[in-house]
């Protein structure tokens, strides 16, 4: 009998365990995790007996929906000096999360599964494609919190949604007419409204200094496609090695081919719309003849062993490995100083990359960053429609965008990390030395995750210009690139927006929604022959023509001719 009872108990226990294990997976709380939990029972604004205002505590989840966006996260997310200070001021603790995959995939996943974290920062380049299109759909379908009723309460956030944004982008994308007057998105990394605060991203081609020296080539002299090709041939045949003694790859990029377009800058037009004026006729960018030349040039580089064959399938890890071992003789992207200063530039300073050119396009214009007075496309913050405590999230964002919050985000704790002199923060010399030598220390102090993802309508370099004698070697190098890569401001409305009034615009969008020009172009790069590649390109362009792209361009040209504030 006893044996039987024991058997019963053991069996039942085992079954209960098995059932618990099986069902645990279905009991997840979703993406919100413990987001929005409110620890204190005090309501915001309630007053203690002593007369001081009690701040309600809240734990919120934050997603940086950027591939590799976690690089700036401190190791101790909760108790780093900056996070502690923000908690004291706002009562909010953030649980930070990021991704190492595609941004669009992540956004679609969180919206489709209803697991939107409390606060999300994601790319928002346009509402007609990519991440912006996904965010717009989610906003219109009730996944994002309407911030309109809150804006008057949070003046710094209100400033962010109205400052440093291009007029047309603001009207048609950020506050799309389909939002019906509601505000869902908070721009970040935007300028403060002055031309000086527009950030120079320093896109270009960078070549290893020691290789250029060995070949007797001046970086500034390489500014055409032909000169680049000749240089790559010399590098390929020059027997140059990386730091491991293996042959270099003459040219390459970072992850997923970013940014191979720098190798084709000779065919780049520096404009603000999807349309080009060719021989007096307006054509959509997909229809330009330049694509043939671009395609054949890239194919030549790939076929002649001048370009990294794996560039388009590079992960961030493999790309970084190539970059930091000097494997790439020339790479196209931004200067990548954050990665290089800690690695290659420490071990092999002679290899320091130099900016080529800048390149000239076929009209003789040099590589230019085109901007409007205000930014078109930027990272945005949005809140989940199911956030439990939206005020906590907005309090956090508003605080870090206040003068005090920005000082905290960029310089840390006064007295510990910096001191004020004539209203300008000055790093404590020892701290600065440590941070310059090891940027990870700066990150772990909490000084790297806020500026890019939470702060907008602001430029630290304009507000707190670093004295020349305090600039690091890398700051000076970055600035030297900026001096050579001009910014052009075009104060016009992009012609692209005119197409939205075209009667068949939605039909065109539906027909081209599954066409990805860049992906198809990359496929053509690896076609068996030039003829086949050109045929693939022609087929692709034909698909856009069949969808009505020419008629759309005619409509845009006609509408643009009726007004004088439209730019191409």
Partner 1 sequence: MVPKGAVIPRLMQVKKNKRLSKVWYFRHIYLFLLPALIWFLVFAYYPMYGIIIAFKDYKYNLGIMGSPWAGFRFFEQFLNDSSFYDVLRNTFSISALKLFFGFPAPLILALILNAVMHEKIKRVFQTISYLPHFVSWVVVVTLLQKILSPNVGLINDIRYQMGLDPIFFMGKPELFYPLVIISDIWKGIGWGSIIYLAALANIDPHLYEAAEIDGAGRWSKLFKITLPSITPTIGILLIFSLSGILNAGFDQIWLMQSPATLNVSEILDTYVLKTGLQQGQLAYSTAIGLFKSLISLILIVVVNNISRRVSDVSLW
Chain residues in the site for partner 1 (CB under 8 A): 7-8, 11-12, 14-15, 18-19, 21-23, 25-26, 102, 104-105, 108-109, 111-112, 114, 133-134, 137-138, 141-143, 246-247, 249, 257, 305, 308-310, 312-313, 318, 322, 327, 513-514, 519, 522-523, 525-526, 528, 543
Instruction: Give Cα 77 to chain centroid, integer Å.
Output: 22
Tell the smallest beta-carbon distance from residue 174 to partner 1 (Å): 19
Is the Cβ of residue 68 or residue 486 nearer to partner 1 in the bound state? 68
Q: Which is nearer to partner 1, 199 or 543 (CB)?
A: 543
Minimum CB–partner distance for residue 176 and partner 1 (Å):
16
Nearer to partner 1, 13 or 40 (CB): 13
CB of 104 to partner 1, least distance (A): 5
Dihedral in degrees, nearest 10, Cα atoms 425, 428, 433, 439: -60
> Is residue 227 packed enough to be buried (19+ CB in 10 Å), middle (13-18) or exposed (0-12)?
middle
Cα-trace Rg, the chain: 27
Distance of closest approach, residue 53 Cβ to partner 1, in angstroms = 36
Instruction: Please answer whether residues 147 and 183 qualify as being in contact, where contact means their C-beta atoms are separated by less than 8 angstroms.
Output: yes
Q: How far is the CB of 140 from partner 1 (least distance, A)?
A: 8
Nearer to partner 1, 224 or 343 (CB): 343
User: Measured from the CB atom, is 4 or 48 closer to partner 1?
Assistant: 4
115 or 376: whose CB is closer to partner 1?
115
Q: Phi and psi for 476 in degrees, rounded to 5?
A: -65, -40
Residue among 309, 369, 382 at smallest CA distance from 139:
382
The runs of H, that is alpha helices, within 348-503 are 390-400, 403-411, 429-437, 439-444, 450-454, 460-463, 473-484
Q: How far is the CB of 113 from partner 1 (least distance, A)?
A: 10
Q: Which of 359, 228, 351 is nearest to 236 (CA)?
A: 228
Which pair of structure tokens corresponds to residue 342? 């800690």
Smallest separation, CB 344 to partner 1 (Å): 16
Least Cβ distance, residue 271 to partner 1 (angstroms): 27
Residue 241 near residue 248 (C-beta atoms within 8 A): yes
Smallest separation (angstroms) from partner 1 to the CB of 128: 13
Pull the structure tokens for residue 299.
């194919």
**Are the beta carbons of 352 and 212 closer than 8 angstroms?**
no
User: What is the C-alpha separation between 20 and 565, in angstroms, rounded?
Assistant: 65
- Rounded Cα–Cα distance for residues 174 and 456 (Å): 14
**Tally of CB atoms within 10 A around 30:** 13
Q: What is the number of residues in the chain?
A: 568
Helix (H) or strand (E) holding 212, with range, is helix 209-215
Number of H helices, E strands in the chain: 23, 18
Q: For partner 1, give the closer residue by CB, 24 or 50.
A: 24
Identity of the residue, 109 or 200, whose beta carbon is nearer to partner 1 in the bound complex: 109
In the numeric block, the tokens 């505590």 are attached to 57
* 312 vs 378 by CB, closer to partner 1: 312
The minimum distance between CB 487 and partner 1, in angstroms, equals: 32
**Smaller CB separation from partner 1, 309 or 420:** 309
Least separation in angstroms between residue 542's CB and partner 1 is 11
Distances (CA, A) of 382 to 43, 107, 287, 379: 24, 12, 36, 10
Closest distance between partner 1 and the C-beta of residue 205, in Å? 19
At residue 169, the 3 state secondary structure works out as helix
CB closer to partner 1 out of 358 and 548: 548
Would you call the peptide bond into 192 cis, given omega within 30 degrees of 0 as the criterion? no
Q: How far is the CB of 253 from partner 1 (least distance, A)?
A: 13
- Smaller CB separation from partner 1, 21 or 421: 21
Distance, CA of 338 to chain centre: 15
* Pick 40 or 317: Cβ nearer partner 1: 317
Give the contacts of 312 (CB within 8 A, at least 6 positions apart). Answer: 256, 257, 260, 522, 525
Q: What span, in angstroms and rounded, lies between the C-alpha atoms of 449 and 70?
A: 8
């Amino acid at each position: 009998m006893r044996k039987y009872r024991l058997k019963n108990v053991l069996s039942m226990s085992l079954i209960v365990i098995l059932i618990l294990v099986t069902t645990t997976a279905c009991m997840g709380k979703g993406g919100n995790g413990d987001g929005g939990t409110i620890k204190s029972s005090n309501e915001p604004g309630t007053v203690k007996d002593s007369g001081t205002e009690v701040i309600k505590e809240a734990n919120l989840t934050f997603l940086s929906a950027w591939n590799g966006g976690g690089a700036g996260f401190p190791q101790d997310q909760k108790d780093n000096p900056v996070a502690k200070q923000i908690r004291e001021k706002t009562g909010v603790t953030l649980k930070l999360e990021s991704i190492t995959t595609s941004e669009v995939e992540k956004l679609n996943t969180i919206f489709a599964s209803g697991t939107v974290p409390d606060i999300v920062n994601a790319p928002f380049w346009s509402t007609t494609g990519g991440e912006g299109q996904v965010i717009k759909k989610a906003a219109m379908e009730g996944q994002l919190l309407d911030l309109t009723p809150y804006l008057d309460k949070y003046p710094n956030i209100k400033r962010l949604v109205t400052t440093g944004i291009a007029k047309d982008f603001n009207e048609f994308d950020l506050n799309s007419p389909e939002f019906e007057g509601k505000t869902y998105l908070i721009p970040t990394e935007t300028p403060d409204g002055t031309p000086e605060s527009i950030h120079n991203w320093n896109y270009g081609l960078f070549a290893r200094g020691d290789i250029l020296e060995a070949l007797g080539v001046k970086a500034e002299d390489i500014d055409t496609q032909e000169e680049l090709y000749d240089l790559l041939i010399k590098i390929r045949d020059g027997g140059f090695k990386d730091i491991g003694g293996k042959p270099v790859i003459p040219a390459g990029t970072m992850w997923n081919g970013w940014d191979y377009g720098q190798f084709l800058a000779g065919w780049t037009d520096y404009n603000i719309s999807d349309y080009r004026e060719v021989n007096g006729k307006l054509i959509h960018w997909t229809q330009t003849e330049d694509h043939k030349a671009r395609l054949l040039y890239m194919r030549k580089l790939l076929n002649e062993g001048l370009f990294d064959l794996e560039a388009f399938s590079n992960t961030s890890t493999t790309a970084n490995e190539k970059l930091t071992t000097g494997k790439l003789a020339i790479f196209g992207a931004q200067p990548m100083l954050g990665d290089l200063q800690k690695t290659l530039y420490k071990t092999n300073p002679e290899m320091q990359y130099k900016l080529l050119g800048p390149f000239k396009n076929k009209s003789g214009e040099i590589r230019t960053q085109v901007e409007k007075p205000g930014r078109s496309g930027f990272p945005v913050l949005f809140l989940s429609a199911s956030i439990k405590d939206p005020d906590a999230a907005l309090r956090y964002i508003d605080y870090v965008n206040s003068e005090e919050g920005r000082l905290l985000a960029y310089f840390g704790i006064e007295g510990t990390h910096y001191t004020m002199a004539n209203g300008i923060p000055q790093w404590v010399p020892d701290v600065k030395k440590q941070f310059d030598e090891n940027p990870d220390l700066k990150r772990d102090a909490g000084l790297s995750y806020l500026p890019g993802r939470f702060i907008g309508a602001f430029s630290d370099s304009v507000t707190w210009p670093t004295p020349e004698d305090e600039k690091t070697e890398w700051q000076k190098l970055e600035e030297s690139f900026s001096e050579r890569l001009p910014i052009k401001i075009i104060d016009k409305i992009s012609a692209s927006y005119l197409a939205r009034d075209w009667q068949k615009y939605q039909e065109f969008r539906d027909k081209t929604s599954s066409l990805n020009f860049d992906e198809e172009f990359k496929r053509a790069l690896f076609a068996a022959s030039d003829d086949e590649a050109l045929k693939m390109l022609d087929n692709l362009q034909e698909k856009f023509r069949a969808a009505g792209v020419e008629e759309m361009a005619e409509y845009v040209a006609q509408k643009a001719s009726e007004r004088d504030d439209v730019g191409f």
